[in-house]
Amino acid sequence: MPVKVQIPTPMRPHTDNLATVEVDATTVQGVLDALGSKYPGITPRLFDNGQLRRFVNLYLNDEDVRYLDNLATPVKDGDDLAIIPAVAGG
């Protein structure tokens, strides 16, 4: 069972309007690479010169990956990776 990636609305034009995409990978970086292989339009919108863009947040099973091991965080079958643009609060 692969990793399920949740695609935010503004990114869906690049995933054939799919809200979730399944890929096989062993790390968060691997998930995003695999996603980019399937949908090449995604990669330049997630990364800028190899760096994850400032306003892109990633949540592995509802935990912000910055509190785990960032892009090197391992993933396993059945995990859920949500891509969510950063939005301030109140």
Partner 1 sequence: MPSPFVRGLKCRLCGARYPVAAANSCAEDYGPLEVEYDYDAVGEALSREKIEARPFTMWRYQELLPLDDEPTVGLAVGGTPLIKADRLARELGVARLWLKNDAVNFPTLSFKDRVVSVALSKAKELGFTTVGCASTGNLGNSVAANAASAGLPAYILIPADLERAKILGTSVFGAKVVTVRGTYDEVNRLCQQVAEKYGWGLVNINLRPFYAEGSKTFGFEIAEQLGWRVPQHVVCPMAGGSLIGKIHKAFQELKTLGLVASAECKMYGAQAAGCSPISTAVKNGWEAHRPVRKPNTIAKSLAIGDPADGYFAAKLIRETGGWAEDVTDDEIRQAMYLLAKTEGVFAETAGGVTLAVTRKLIEQGRIPRDEEIVVAITGNGLKTQDAIADVVETPAQIAPSLEAFAAICDAPAAEPALV
**Residue numbers at the binding site for partner 1 (CB under 8 A):** 6, 8-11, 13, 19, 45, 48, 53-57, 59, 62, 64, 66-67, 82, 84-90
* CB of 24 or CB of 36, closer to partner 1: 36
**Taking the complex as a whole, how short is the minimal distance between the CB of residue 34 and partner 1, in angstroms?**
20
Segment 60-68 long-range contacts (CB within 8 Å, at least 24 positions apart): 60/28, 65/28
For partner 1, the closer CB: 6 or 27: 6
Look up residue 32 and give its two tokens: 């995003």
Q: How far is Cα 48 from Cα 52, in angstroms, rounded to an integer?
A: 6
